[in-house]
Structure 1
Amino acid sequence: MYSPSEDHMGAVMRILRYLKVTLEKELMFCKYGHTNVEGYTDADWGGSVTDRRSTSGYFTFVGGNLVTWRSKKQKVVSRSSAEAEYCGMAQGMCELQWFRRLLRYLGFGPWKPMDLYCDNKTAIAIEHDPMQHDCTKHVEVDQHFVKEKLDAKIISFPFISSEYQLADVLTKAVSTTVFLNSLDKLGMRDIFAPT
């Protein structure tokens, strides 16, 4: 916003063109009979060519329905892909924790640990193996925050293969097939499609 360039304007025009041709899309909410909270988180490592900061993205589902999503450039330059993913996990976990508190305030669960799916085994291992913490002093605050929630069994970190990682569409360029499959899994439907 402070120093827009031709590249920025090109990105805005691309977004507007996408919105123009997807006016028939809507986000469907269905009743699945549970109030489980789960998230998908991902990050690209050094994806910005101007300052080499990574971009984190997450999707949050409540009761099987997509309720929030976000993509944001990280505040610091990550020194490894695991660090970038780990910072993204901390952001996604904050969102999940907020939903957990909201649902409990409203008198609904979730009573079981929330799942935050990540496709980086090293980032997941950092939480389960205290010996790796020496390598992550630059993300120490995030590490303690996430570790506290893991120990309290508020959250779990199941590994998910990259091919099933929904948050990839927020952080990376993906093929048309992957993008369209992700839209379907996120609950996006064509309102003019025959039922």
Structure 2
Amino acid sequence: MYSHNESSTPIVYSDADHASSWKVNLYLTYGFVLTLFGRAVTWRSRRQRVISTSTAKAKMVALSDTCHNVIWVLNRLNGLDIIAMGIPIMLLTGNQAAEHIISTNGPGRNKSLTLRGTFMKDTIKKGIVTVRWITGELQVANGLTKLLNARGSTKSWKDLGVKAGLVACR
């Protein structure tokens, strides 16, 4: 099922779409993929009832909600003796500004983001998560938040561990 040389550290890819389809919909869409042993265990894509004014704020909302969901999932896996808690969850984001907000005292002016940032800082301090930046090419959750071309879509499905194929419609 998994290779012994693959890490048992939970790795989570978190992404958000900041108004890319602004003519149709201004609400934020976020998604995450939780991987264990290099394989996708669970994923989610959700439209939030939040209109974000910047990419960094959109990613902060995504990181916070992702963290809540992933902690819940990992607690369930821990209860089934599939994974032992105590290993920090590696939370990967494609936005350096969001990572900076979490690691500093920002943003400060927005109550909702301040609460989300405080929650994230608390989970980092407790050793539950670590947040790191990754490039967009390595972001597995892109396919859950954005409309991708054929090449990007195929790569996204492959990264999720799904074997994609063309299905003929009649």
Task: Note the 1:78-157 alignment, pairs <5 A.
Answer: 78-107=52-81, 108-130=83-105, 132-157=106-131
Distance in 2 between the 1:142 and 1:102 partners? 23
Residue identity opposite 1:38 in structure 2: I
Q: Do 2:31 and 2:62's aligned partners in 1 also have CA atoms closer than 8 Å?
A: yes
Unmatched 5+ stretches in structure 2: 166-170
SS at match of 1:40: strand
Q: Do 2:158 and 2:164's aligned partners in 1 also have CA atoms closer than 8 Å?
A: no
Which string of whole-angstrom CA distances, capped at 9 and with x for unpartnered residues, describes residues 143-167 of structure 1?
2221110111110111110111111
Q: In structure 2, what is the equivalent of residue 64 of structure 1?
A: 38
Unmatched 5+ stretches in structure 1: 1-29
Q: In structure 1, what is the equivalent of residue 138 of structure 2?
A: 164
Q: Which has the larger radius of gyration?
A: 1
Residue identity opposite 2:17 in structure 1: D
Residue identity opposite 1:181 in structure 2: K
- Tell me how far 1:133 sits from its aligned partner: 2.8
User: Given the two structures, how large is their TM-score scaled by the length of structure 1?
Assistant: 0.74
Asked whether 1:32 is paired with 2:6, we answer no
Q: In structure 1, what is the equivalent of residue 168 of structure 2?
A: none
Distance in 2 between the 1:101 and 1:142 partners? 21
Q: Do 1:57 and 1:170's aligned partners in 2 also have CA atoms closer than 8 Å?
A: yes
Q: Do 2:154 and 2:164's aligned partners in 1 also have CA atoms closer than 8 Å?
A: no
Number of aligned residues: 161
Which string of whole-angstrom CA distances, capped at 9 and with x for unpartnered residues, describes residues 71-97 of structure 1?
111122112111111101112111221
- Tell me how far 1:106 sits from its aligned partner: 2.9
Identity %: 25
- Tell me how far 1:50 sits from its aligned partner: 4.0
Alignment root-mean-square deviation, CA: 2.0
Which string of whole-angstrom CA distances, capped at 9 and with x for unpartnered residues, describes residues 110-156 of structure 1?
432111110000011111001x2314433232222211101111101
Q: Residues 135 and 64 (structure 1 numbering): CA distance in 2 closer, same or farther, change over 3 Å?
A: same
Q: Do 1:37 and 1:96's aligned partners in 2 also have CA atoms closer than 8 Å?
A: no
